[in-house]
Amino acid sequence: MELGFWSCCCNDGNSGLLLKQRIPDVALFQACSLEAWYQTAGGLVTQVRGSAADFALRLGALAPHGPAAILRHGHVRGDPREGLPSDSLVAKVLTLEKAKDLLQQVAEEKVPKVSTGELSGLWTLQAYVEPRYGLRIISAYHCNSYLEERSDIFSHRFRGLYPPPNAEIPVPDGAKDSPKELETPYRQAIESKTLGIARFAHKFHQLDLDGMVLEFIFDLQGRIVLHGCWAFSICDRPRRAAPPGAQVIWQQPRVHSVPRPEEPEQVPKIHTPPRPRKAADPAQLLLEFWQGEALLGEAAFDCPFHTELRVLPLAPRPPAFSPEALGQCGNAVVSLTPKQGQWLVFKLGRAEALKTESEDPVHAVLWLWRSGEYVPVWSSHAEPVEEFVDGKWDWVHVWPGEAVQLPLPSADRSGPRPSPPVAAVPTPEGRRCEARGPEPELDTVKSPYDHVCGAELAAHWGMSEKGVLQGHLLAHQATQRLKLSRSNRTGLLKQLAERVVSFHNMNRQWEIFLETMKSQHQEAQKKLKIQEEFLDSTKERFDACHGEHEQALAGICRRMSAEVDELRHRERLEADQLANSQARVDGQRQKVQELEAQKETLQTSLGRVRCKLDDLAAEDVKLRQQLEETRAQHLAEQAAMLKSARISEDLVELQQLKKRLAATTVASGQEHKHILKMEDFVRRVANQDARSLRTGGGYILDSLAKAEAKALLQELGLE
């Protein structure tokens, strides 16, 4: 987006002529200072004197709600994830609050900050205009080296580039932001606006636009609004008054009714020595274009006396090509600027229609005539760019921003300089080309087959086979000749020719059409009366049917209102039941968790008791064995007494163990009953019937509780 383009749409001079074009309110800022404020007044672009606070009030008055402004600024670092290169310009839609925050920072002389960084350079803030059709129209204007203008117009979705802030706009499936053709009336209107802006910039700002890409929209009233400029390029040459007798820098092509061919010059035989060339008095500069080892074309020219933008026709170097191939190698656009009478600044802009045979790079070589030979002074490679030229896509080779400063030759060139060697090509046989004298001109024409200006009289534009000039035939030929689908300087001529042809056909058919329409008029009046009667009866039936439908619609509305109230009441009841069920489920789930924790504690305690009991039993067996051995060795005589005592002790200990075993058995039984009860509860939860199969009573659990219960049963191995 060229942020400084808005200044080209406003005339600051004293002529009083303004551009007739509607634009949104646009404010240009340089960091934290307001540079300019442009708006539309009476359909004309004017500049307003005001401050950032005044612009904030203006935005609030235009859009108090919703999107209010569009911020355009440069993105220095870029965003590779989104495919945004560095030094690119972005646009963002802002609400009124965010726009006021930026303007408040400007009023406080602070550099505004956004998500991508500080707005330290040039940035703009323009009022948001809602498009009528949801489209933004792109108009790509281009003027080539032959002063032929072209305007390609297509449309895109507006929301694709300017989405509303803090909102997501649903995009239907298959919707793409691809270019779409406009209807002819809209395309012609946009084309007229584009050409008007180019003419205005040329006349009041002395800017010769090489190309620009404008963005238009239709507002809610259907008016065309210039919404912005994506890019524009200017021919790099200063505009100054040319001295008397000097060559004109920029001139409209002259138009002749019948072209007159110039008299052919005598072409002498010239030999072509290898580089470096030596000739009597050749051109001062020689420009060549190469692709590998192949020469694509060359042009010889002299140093100018003032700044010039030249279009150099390229010619092949003899004897590689035939004489019929001269002038078919393309053309080159160069800028020549003398400085202080001793230096020449040479800039090569572009080369078109080069006949390349491979994908190798094209490079240009500049030769300077010095000390009796051509000396190479500059060489550079080109950047191929694909452009839409003459109704088709073609490769154009450009040299952006490269310039070379050359010393002007000091040799005296008082005599006339002949044409460079490439201007005269010998024939393949090497014979001398004999000059032909000029053809005699005819003072009078006696037959349509007489030759005038190199062609028969009947072959000229507008001439019939009888040699009579007819306007409609001339208009038809102009229409056929200029029926290219592009905009150029002959667009008006094409439209006028179409009008003349249309008027001629209409004039021939008018009398027949008039008689036919008179008879049809009488028949139409009779049919009109019949249709009026039919319309009256139809209107009566329509009124009656309309009343019946209104009554039926009122009844339907009342019934639907009652159903809506009933549904809302039922919805509230079901919501309350759902809340109660969720509360019960939460309580039961918490109780299940508590029971599981208690179960784990009891199982741990039971395991410890069993381990202790086993240890005591083993210790008892060991002690008994030791006691028996001791008694058998030392107390054999008292075996019976000890045996009876041991038996009594064993009986006492057995009674104690029985008591402890009984207590443990009772506790284990209670724990087993509790576990069985818990298992039965979990099983009932897991195997509970669905809600649709229940006939009443009980409680309802969700599917999550059932799933958890089944998982617990599977984990314990009970299912």
Look at the block and give the residue holding tokens 């042009």. 299
Q: pLDDT: is 339 or 580 the higher one?
A: 580
Q: How far apart are CA 625 and CA 630, in angstroms?
A: 9
pLDDT of 27: 92
Q: How far apart are CA 433 and CA 323, in angstroms?
A: 11
Segment 549-560 shows an average pLDDT of 92
Look at the block and give the residue holding tokens 């009289």. 457
Cα 387 to Cα 143, 144, 394, 632, distances in angstroms? 12, 11, 6, 122
Copy the structure tokens of residue 399: 């040299």
Domain ranges in the chain are 3-166+178-234, 285-423, 442-527, 558-691+698-719
pLDDT of 656: 92
Judge contact between 226 and 9, C-beta under 8 A. Answer: yes
Residue 331 parent element (H or E): strand 331-339
What number of other Cβ atoms are within 10 A of residue 330's Cβ?
21
Segment 688-702 shows an average pLDDT of 61
Q: pLDDT: is 567 or 43 the higher one?
A: 567
Residue 153 parent element (H or E): strand 149-157
Confidence of residue 549 (pLDDT cuts 50, 70, 90): very high
Question: How does 134-163 read in b/e, with b if 16+ C-beta sit within 10 Å?
Answer: ebbbbbbbbbbbeebbbbbbbbbbbbeebe
Look at the block and give the residue holding tokens 């220095």. 76
Average pLDDT, the chain: 76
pLDDT of 410: 56
Paired with 39 in beta bridges are 46
pLDDT of 381: 80
pLDDT of 479: 66
- Give the β-pairing of 383-389 and 392-398: antiparallel
Confidence of residue 484 (pLDDT cuts 50, 70, 90): very low
Of 40, 165, 42, nearest to 98 (Cα)? 165
Confidence of residue 165 (pLDDT cuts 50, 70, 90): confident
Tens digits of per-residue pLDDT, 520-534?
998 999 999 999 999
Q: How far apart are CA 276 and CA 274, in angstroms?
A: 6
What number of other Cβ atoms are within 10 A of residue 393's Cβ?
8
Q: Is 43 left (phi over 0), alpha (psi -120 to 50) or beta?
A: left
Q: What is the maximum span of the chain, computed from C-alpha positions, in angstroms?
A: 178
Copy the structure tokens of residue 494: 């094409």
Residue 514 parent element (H or E): helix 491-634
To the nearest 10°, report the CA torsion of 134, 135, 136, 141: -160
Instruction: Please state the φ and ψ torsions of residue 431, each to the nearest 5 degrees.
Output: -80, 160
Confidence of residue 632 (pLDDT cuts 50, 70, 90): confident
Q: How far apart are CA 480 and CA 494, in angstroms?
A: 9
Q: How far apart are CA 497 and CA 476, in angstroms?
A: 7
Segment 649-657 shows an average pLDDT of 91
Segment 272-293 shows an average pLDDT of 65
**pLDDT > 90: percent of the chain:** 20
pLDDT of 250: 35
Q: How far apart are CA 110 and CA 119, in angstroms?
A: 10
Tens digits of per-residue pLDDT, 349-378?
888 888 888 878 888 989 888 877 888 888
- Which long-range contacts (C-beta less than 8 Å, at least 24 apart) are formed by 311-314? 311/145, 311/146, 312/287, 314/289, 314/351, 314/354
Q: pLDDT: is 355 or 126 the higher one?
A: 126
Q: pLDDT: is 246 or 81 the higher one?
A: 81
Q: How far apart are CA 24 and CA 72, in angstroms?
A: 14
Of 75, 94, 72, nearest to 84 (Cα)? 75
Q: How far apart are CA 578 and CA 571, in angstroms?
A: 10
Tens digits of per-residue pLDDT, 488-501?
444 566 667 777 77
Q: Is residue 688's pLDDT more than 80?
A: no
Confidence of residue 427 (pLDDT cuts 50, 70, 90): very low
pLDDT of 697: 58
Q: How far apart are CA 37 and CA 25, in angstroms?
A: 7
Q: How far apart are CA 58 and CA 25, in angstroms?
A: 8
Judge contact between 295 and 248, C-beta under 8 A. Answer: no
pLDDT of 420: 39
